[in-house]
Amino acid sequence: MTQSLSTTQTRAPHQWLALTIGVVYLLVGVAGFLVTGFDGFAEHDHDQTLLGFAVNPLHNIVHLLIGLLGVALWSSPGRARTFGWLLVVGYGAAFVYGLIAVNNPDINILNINAADNWLHILSVLAGLVIALWPRRRAGTTSPGPRQV
Protein backbone atom coordinates (compact mmCIF):
# COMPACT_ATOMS: atom_id res chain seq x y z
CA MET A 1 0.00 0.00 0.00
CA THR A 2 1.41 3.40 -0.98
CA GLN A 3 0.86 6.47 1.14
CA SER A 4 0.97 9.99 -0.21
CA LEU A 5 3.62 12.49 0.83
CA SER A 6 1.12 14.45 2.90
CA THR A 7 0.40 11.47 5.15
CA THR A 8 3.98 10.23 5.50
CA GLN A 9 5.81 13.53 5.85
CA THR A 10 4.74 16.77 7.46
CA ARG A 11 6.63 19.97 7.08
CA ALA A 12 8.64 21.12 10.08
CA PRO A 13 8.33 24.69 11.39
CA HIS A 14 11.82 25.59 10.16
CA GLN A 15 10.78 24.61 6.63
CA TRP A 16 7.77 26.93 6.76
CA LEU A 17 10.01 29.71 8.09
CA ALA A 18 12.41 29.17 5.17
CA LEU A 19 9.51 29.38 2.71
CA THR A 20 8.09 32.49 4.39
CA ILE A 21 11.45 34.27 4.33
CA GLY A 22 11.93 33.25 0.71
CA VAL A 23 8.53 34.62 -0.33
CA VAL A 24 9.07 37.86 1.61
CA TYR A 25 12.45 38.45 -0.01
CA LEU A 26 10.96 37.72 -3.44
CA LEU A 27 8.21 40.28 -2.82
CA VAL A 28 10.73 42.83 -1.53
CA GLY A 29 12.86 42.33 -4.63
CA VAL A 30 9.90 42.91 -6.95
CA ALA A 31 8.65 45.89 -4.92
CA GLY A 32 12.17 47.34 -4.96
CA PHE A 33 12.07 47.53 -8.74
CA LEU A 34 8.83 49.50 -8.48
CA VAL A 35 10.82 52.09 -6.50
CA THR A 36 14.10 52.08 -8.43
CA GLY A 37 13.24 50.94 -11.91
CA PHE A 38 16.34 49.64 -13.69
CA ASP A 39 18.42 52.85 -13.79
CA GLY A 40 21.37 53.53 -11.52
CA PHE A 41 22.19 49.83 -11.22
CA ALA A 42 24.71 50.12 -8.36
CA GLU A 43 24.22 53.76 -7.32
CA HIS A 44 24.49 54.93 -3.75
CA ASP A 45 21.36 57.05 -3.38
CA HIS A 46 19.52 56.93 -0.06
CA ASP A 47 16.62 58.82 -1.66
CA GLN A 48 15.45 55.50 -3.15
CA THR A 49 13.91 53.67 -0.20
CA LEU A 50 11.35 50.95 0.33
CA LEU A 51 9.76 51.25 3.78
CA GLY A 52 12.89 53.01 5.06
CA PHE A 53 15.34 50.51 3.54
CA ALA A 54 17.68 51.90 0.88
CA VAL A 55 17.54 49.98 -2.41
CA ASN A 56 18.97 50.05 -5.90
CA PRO A 57 18.54 47.59 -8.79
CA LEU A 58 21.57 45.51 -7.70
CA HIS A 59 20.17 45.29 -4.16
CA ASN A 60 16.81 44.22 -5.61
CA ILE A 61 18.46 41.41 -7.55
CA VAL A 62 20.14 40.16 -4.36
CA HIS A 63 16.72 40.10 -2.66
CA LEU A 64 15.26 38.15 -5.59
CA LEU A 65 18.09 35.59 -5.44
CA ILE A 66 17.70 35.08 -1.67
CA GLY A 67 13.95 34.71 -2.18
CA LEU A 68 14.40 32.14 -4.94
CA LEU A 69 16.79 30.16 -2.74
CA GLY A 70 14.25 30.10 0.10
CA VAL A 71 11.46 28.94 -2.18
CA ALA A 72 13.70 26.32 -3.79
CA LEU A 73 15.19 24.94 -0.56
CA TRP A 74 12.25 24.82 1.85
CA SER A 75 10.92 21.46 0.63
CA SER A 76 12.99 19.16 2.85
CA PRO A 77 14.34 19.58 6.38
CA GLY A 78 17.96 19.31 5.25
CA ARG A 79 17.57 21.72 2.36
CA ALA A 80 15.80 24.21 4.62
CA ARG A 81 18.76 23.97 7.05
CA THR A 82 21.09 24.70 4.12
CA PHE A 83 19.06 27.82 3.38
CA GLY A 84 19.35 28.77 7.05
CA TRP A 85 23.14 28.50 6.92
CA LEU A 86 23.18 30.51 3.68
CA LEU A 87 21.26 33.27 5.47
CA VAL A 88 23.68 33.18 8.41
CA VAL A 89 26.81 33.36 6.28
CA GLY A 90 25.46 35.67 3.57
CA TYR A 91 23.71 38.16 5.80
CA GLY A 92 26.47 37.98 8.39
CA ALA A 93 28.87 39.09 5.67
CA ALA A 94 26.35 41.70 4.46
CA PHE A 95 26.12 43.09 8.00
CA VAL A 96 29.89 43.46 8.31
CA TYR A 97 30.06 44.98 4.82
CA GLY A 98 27.20 47.31 5.72
CA LEU A 99 28.95 48.58 8.84
CA ILE A 100 31.81 49.71 6.62
CA ALA A 101 29.86 50.73 3.51
CA VAL A 102 27.07 52.73 5.14
CA ASN A 103 29.42 55.71 5.58
CA ASN A 104 31.49 55.15 2.45
CA PRO A 105 29.58 55.86 -0.78
CA ASP A 106 32.54 54.75 -2.90
CA ILE A 107 32.10 51.09 -1.86
CA ASN A 108 28.37 51.06 -1.07
CA ILE A 109 27.27 49.44 -4.33
CA LEU A 110 24.22 47.82 -2.64
CA ASN A 111 23.00 51.18 -1.28
CA ILE A 112 22.89 49.88 2.31
CA ASN A 113 21.67 52.11 5.13
CA ALA A 114 21.32 51.58 8.90
CA ALA A 115 17.85 50.04 8.52
CA ASP A 116 19.32 47.45 6.13
CA ASN A 117 21.96 46.57 8.72
CA TRP A 118 19.27 45.85 11.32
CA LEU A 119 17.40 43.68 8.81
CA HIS A 120 20.61 41.81 8.06
CA ILE A 121 21.06 40.96 11.75
CA LEU A 122 17.42 39.78 11.93
CA SER A 123 18.02 37.65 8.83
CA VAL A 124 21.10 36.10 10.49
CA LEU A 125 19.02 35.25 13.57
CA ALA A 126 16.24 33.77 11.44
CA GLY A 127 18.85 31.76 9.57
CA LEU A 128 20.16 30.38 12.88
CA VAL A 129 16.64 29.36 13.88
CA ILE A 130 16.18 27.53 10.58
CA ALA A 131 19.63 25.91 10.60
CA LEU A 132 19.58 24.82 14.24
CA TRP A 133 15.94 23.72 14.51
CA PRO A 134 15.90 20.42 16.45
CA ARG A 135 15.78 17.34 14.27
CA ARG A 136 12.80 15.03 14.55
CA ARG A 137 13.75 11.47 15.42
CA ALA A 138 12.78 8.98 12.73
CA GLY A 139 9.48 7.25 13.40
CA THR A 140 8.45 9.48 16.28
CA THR A 141 5.93 12.26 16.35
CA SER A 142 5.91 12.96 20.07
CA PRO A 143 7.68 11.57 23.09
CA GLY A 144 5.81 8.63 24.57
CA PRO A 145 6.14 6.79 27.86
CA ARG A 146 9.46 5.07 28.48
CA GLN A 147 9.49 1.32 28.12
CA VAL A 148 11.45 -0.69 30.66
Q: How many CB atoms lie within 10 A of CB 92?
A: 16
- Label residue 146 by pLDDT band (50, 70, 90): low
- Label residue 8 by pLDDT band (50, 70, 90): very low
Q: 122 with 113: CB under 8 angstroms?
A: no
Average pLDDT over residues 31-35: 92
Please enumerate in sequence order all residues whose Cβ is within 8 A of that of 58, keeping only pairs 6 or more positions apart, or say none: 41, 42, 109, 110, 111
Please enumerate in sequence order all residues whose Cβ is within 8 A of that of 127, keeping only pairs 6 or more positions apart, or say none: 83, 84, 85, 86, 87, 88, 91
pLDDT digits (tens, 9 = 90+) for 35-83: 888 988 888 777 788 888 889 999 999 999 999 999 999 999 999 999 9
Alpha-carbon span 47 to 44, nearest angstrom: 9
Rg (CA), the chain: 19
